[in-house]
Structure 1
Amino acid sequence: MGAGVQNEEDNNYPPWLIPLLNESFFVQCKSHSDSHKSECNMYCLDCANGPLCSLCLHHHHHNNHRHIQIRRSSYHDVIRVSEIQKHLDISSVQTYVINSAKVVFLNKRPQHRPVKGVTNACEVCDRNLLDSFRFCSLGCKIAGTSKDLILSEKKRFVNSFTPSTPPLTAAGLRAAKRRKGIPHRAPMGGVMIEH
Structure 2
Amino acid sequence: MEKTVTPPWLEAMLKTKFLTHCSKHREMPRNECNMFCADCFENYSSFCIYCRSQNHSNHHVIQIRRSSYHEVVRVSEVEGLIDVKGVHTYVINSANVFFLNERPQPRGVGAAAGKAAASPYFCEVCSRSLLNDFRFCSIGCKLARIKSNGDATFVVHERDRSSESSRVEGDNSRKSSNLGEHPDGSSAANDAKPTSPQRRSRRRKGIPQRSPLFS
TM-score class, shorter-chain normalisation, is: 0.5 to 0.7
Question: Normalized per residue, which structure has more helix?
Answer: 2
- Separation in 1, partners of 2:117, 2:104: 17
**Deviation string for 1:4-43 (max 9, x for gaps)?**
xxxxx99611110001000110000010011012100001
Letter in structure 2 aligned against 1:52: F
- Separation in 1, partners of 2:59, 2:14: 19
- Separation in 2, partners of 1:85, 1:10: 19
Task: Report whether the alignment pairs 1:131 with 2:132.
Answer: yes
**Deviation string for 1:61-92 (max 9, x for gaps)?**
x1211111001111110000001101011110
- Separation in 2, partners of 1:112, 1:82: 27
- Separation in 2, partners of 1:67, 1:55: 13
Of the candidates 66, 70, 73, which is equivalent to residue 79 of structure 1? 73
Task: Report whether the alignment pairs 1:98 with 2:99.
Answer: no
Structure-2 residue corresponding to 1:22: 15
- Separation in 2, partners of 1:123, 1:20: 22
Structure-2 residue corresponding to 1:116: 117
- Percentage of identical aligned residues: 49
Between the two proteins, the alignment pairs up a number of residues equal to 141
**What is the TM-score of this pair, normalised by structure 2?**
0.61
Map 1:141-180; keep pairs closer than 5 Å: 141-147=142-148
Which SS does the other structure have where 2:83 is aligned?
A: coil
- Separation in 1, partners of 2:95, 2:67: 11
Q: List gaps (5 residues or longer) in structure 1.
A: 1-8, 150-195
Which SS does the other structure have where 2:5 is aligned?
A: coil
Q: List gaps (5 residues or longer) in structure 2.
A: 108-112, 151-215
- Separation in 2, partners of 1:130, 1:74: 18
**What is the TM-score of this pair, normalised by structure 1?**
0.67
The alpha carbon displacement at 1:145 in A equals: 2.1
- Separation in 2, partners of 1:42, 1:118: 34
Structure-2 residue corresponding to 1:55: 50
- Separation in 2, partners of 1:132, 1:117: 13
Which SS does the other structure have where 1:116 is aligned?
A: helix
Letter in structure 1 aligned against 2:70: H
The alpha carbon displacement at 1:109 in A equals: 0.9
Letter in structure 1 aligned against 2:58: N
Report the aligned-residue RMSD.
Answer: 2.1
Does the 8 Å CA contact 2:117/2:129 hold for their aligned counterparts?
Answer: no
Larger radius of gyration: 2
- Separation in 2, partners of 1:53, 1:94: 28
